[in-house]
Structure 1
Amino acid sequence: MNATDEHNEEPTGEKWVCQVMAAEGVIGVLGNFLVCYVILRVKFLHNMTNYLLVNLAVADMLMCLQEFLYYLTSDCTPIEFAPVSNGVRDLFCRLLASKYLALVLSFASAYNLCVVTLERYIAIVHPLHYARKLTTARMVALITLVWVISFLISLPTLFTFEPSNDPNEMCSIKYPHPSLPILLGIFIFLFTYLLPLTLMSLAYYKMQVTLKIQVKALNLQHAKAAAYELLIARQKLVSMLKTVLGALIVLWTMEYFAVLLCLHRTDDAQFLFCGSQGFYYIRVFANLLFNFNSVINPFIYEFKYKKFRQGLKVAFCCCFKRHGGNRVGIEMVPL
């Protein structure tokens, strides 16, 4: 996901890279669509946290879709794609080859996860203010703001690629100013990686401390089982979200540090190895990991989120048991 990546930097023999990336895209689209379907279909999953997870899944699903379209139409795939129309070529270069959409959706994914974290933070650390601060109107406005800023803040990348006059190339790099790739690289690292991950890490640390204090308080008060069950459910949800954050940190770190290391990947780059074959393979692996982050969340929900597993069973059992008008209703009490 580097805004300064060149479209033609893949060696022609590395078709497997595009095939793996396209496969990642398909799996990610299907997995995130399943998350949206289950949460929206099952009534006991209808709460603020899960609606925010749907929004996050939409961002990841679109990320996987643009990944699939880019690598499907790349010249290193078995599929020959050569748009004749200048308008189509211009859209391809500016939206896909420039990584504009990838940057938009990675920014949206990071900050939509921040919104999920904010909702849990207020629910756990400031529960008395939850109903007043997190109204539906405010959350809709916040989500809308995240998406609008994601599109606007990525606009400079639209002007880094344009259709090439060379018949052997689809797109060519064109920087309005030589310092643009450097400024873009630093900006992307700071505001799409470092800032949201730091804020979320601090928030989850505070939530963990608060939950431990609440457990001690319940022990001292000899609270009823229902109170313990609610607290355990909160702890499990926070644990699942921490896993989502941990996966994001692990899978994004190599890509963003590679961006920061070689801000201008041409002959003017600050290190000679930035244009080497070895660095190319590092970037391929980093990009595979980066895109895999948009694929992995549905699997995390399945293994770490008990209510989602219950919802998955309800959604599909209800479909299978609706045969001949003899529907078997399955309702599960939310934790």
Structure 2
Amino acid sequence: MNATDEHNEEPTGEKLVCQIMAAEGVIGVLGNILVCYVILRVKFLHNITNYLLVNLAVADMLLCFQVFLYYSISDCKLIAFAPVSKGVRDLFCRLLASKFLAFALTYASAYNLCVVTLERYIAIVHPLHYARKLTTARMVTLIIMVWVTSFVVHITLLFTVEPIDAPNKICSFKYPHQVFPILVSIYSFFLGYLLPLSFMSLAYYKMQVTLKRQAKALNLQHARAAAYDLVIARQNLISMLKTVLGALIVLWTLDYVVTLPCLHRTDEAQFSFCGSKPYHYARVFANLLFNFNSVINPIIYEFKYKKFKQGFKLAFCRCFKRHNGNRVGVDIAPL
């Protein structure tokens, strides 16, 4: 959402901060590409849950890429040879400086995580309806809807900025009305943050309750070890997904809070403190945390997702492939 900031401002006065932002972008792109590679290469990871994680990784990868692109071209000036034609400046202003790509990809990331949650919720809480409700066609349609909606709802941002020829200034913001940036901040807070996080938190609570009840019932009935192990494996998978959600909440909250009153932090913003130095520093720190969320998911998979860890070894280590390549665990089963 906020990986982009106005080009007419200095980042924080420290080049290091800008370089950290660009580095986060590079690491996030590489980490999420790695997630896609491992899941798509290793056959025992080929199921609907992991395919949805690939879709989530693509959203995070694109979000990281636009972070790197913005800071490399603007504040860090790492790409000094970037063209400065009017067409290129127009694309820079409308896609990056306007926050169009940042908002759209943030929505795509949040709601793709919601799709992962929905799939697990139906598999665990309503297993008898899984095959009927979550057909391949429906899942593909849902994913397409998430991506299209994420971009369409922010399309007005493309027309709020335009390139100008002025010293030390590339883009000029022109809102249709004074309250427009306030409205954008408010609906982004509710639709891009509060709504998906509330849905996922409630869904994971119900899943955890259901899994505990199932484990208790199987234990009392002295069920077969395989059935009990399946429930435990699902608990581990849900634990990993809850960690992903927890990281998102921790790393996104400050950013949404500081962005709510000031869509663009300039002296001409809706509130006077939007151009102050304390707010400037708070916004930079929030940006660092926000961008890190798209970097941390591959790390969580490696430490919390047993099957991904096995798949990673299988994809890159031949010795593991010889001895363990055919092992398939129950924690990736769809039901």
Give the TM-score category using the shorter length. over 0.9
Give how far 1:273 is off: 2.7
Contact 2:28/2:64 (8 A) holds in 1 = yes
Give the conservation status (yes or no) of the 8 Å contact 1:38–1:311.
yes
For the pair 1:331 / 2:326, whether they are aligned, the reply is yes
Asked if the contact 2:314–2:320 (Cα under 8 Å) also holds between the matched residues in 1, the reply is: no
Q: Which runs of 5+ in 1 are unaligned?
A: none
Q: How does 1:277-292 map to 2 (within 5 A)?
A: 277-292=277-292
Provide the rounded CA distance (Å) in 2 between the counterparts of 1:264 and 1:12: 15
The residue type equivalent to 2:325 in the other structure is I
CA distance in 2, matches of 1:2, 1:23: 16
Partners of 2:14 and 2:313 lie apart in 1 by 41
Q: For residue 137 of structure 1, report the CA deviation from its aligned partner.
A: 0.6
Q: Please show how residues 102-121 of structure 1 align to structure 2 within 5 Å.
A: 102-121=102-121
- 1:67-119, Cα deviation, whole Å (9 max, x unpaired): 11111101443543563311111001100111111111100000000000000
Letter in 2 for 1:175: Y
How many angstroms apart in 2 are the aligned matches of 1:40 and 1:248?
25
1:22–1:68 CA contact under 8 A, matched in 2: yes
**CA shift at 1:162, angstroms?**
1.1
Select between 235-244 and 169-178 the one with higher mean Cα deviation. 169-178
String of CA shifts for 1:34-60, please: whole Å, max 9, x gaps.
000000000000000000000000000
After superposition, the Cα gap between the structure-2 partners of 1:195 and 1:306, relative to the gap in structure 1 and judged at 3 Å, is same
Alpha-carbon spacing, 1:329–1:12, altered in 2? closer, same or farther (3 Å): closer
Amino acid at match of 1:61: M
Q: TM-score, normalised by structure 1?
A: 0.93
2:328 alignment partner AA = V
User: In structure 2, what is the Cα distance between the partners aligned to 1:81 and 1:19?
Assistant: 17
Normalising by structure 2, what TM-score? 0.93
Distance 2:22 2:283 in 1: 17
Q: 2:100 corresponds to which residue?
A: 100
* Separation (CA, whole Å) in 2 of partners of 1:182 and 1:82: 33
Aligned to 2:225: 225
RMSD, aligned CA: 2.0
Partner of 1:250: 250
| 1:169-180 matches, cutoff 5 A | 169-180=169-180
Q: Which stretch shifts more, 71-80 or 215-224?
A: 71-80
Relative distance call for 1:76 and 1:329 in structure 2 (3 A) is closer
Cα deviation code 1:261-316 (max 9, x no counterpart): 33564456565432111110110010011011100000000000000000001111
2:333 alignment partner in structure 1: none
Q: Which residue of 2 aligns with 1:155?
A: 155
Q: Aligned pair count?
A: 330
Task: Check whether the contact 2:33–2:57 (CA below 8 A) recurs between aligned residues.
Answer: yes
2:169 counterpart SS class: coil
Q: Structure 1 residues 314 and 92, CA, compared in 2 at 3 Å: closer, same or farther? A: same
Taking the aligned partners of 1:114 and 1:178, their CA distance within structure 2 comes to 33
Query: Alignment partner of 1:172: what SS?
Result: strand
Q: CA deviation at 1:18?
A: 1.7
**Equivalence map 1:37-116=2 (5 Å):** 37-80=37-80, 83-116=83-116
- Cα deviation for residue 167 of structure 1 reads 3.0
Whole-Å Cα distance in 2 between the matches of residues 328 and 221 of structure 1? 35
| Structure 1 CA distance for aligned equivalents of residues 114 and 223 of structure 2 | 32
What stretches of structure 1 move > 6 A for 4+ residues in a row?
none
Deviations 1:135-169 (A, max 9, x none): 11100000000000011011111122210221321
Q: Answer whether contact 1:10 1:76 (CA < 8 A) is retained.
A: no
Using the TM superposition, give the Cα deviation of residue 4 of structure 1 relative to its aligned residue in structure 2, in angstroms: 9.2
Alpha-carbon contact 2:18-2:75 (below 8 Å) kept: no
Secondary structure of the residue aligned to 2:177 is coil
Conserved 8 A contact 2:251-2:293: yes
Q: How does 1:177-196 map to 2 (within 5 A)?
A: 177-196=177-196
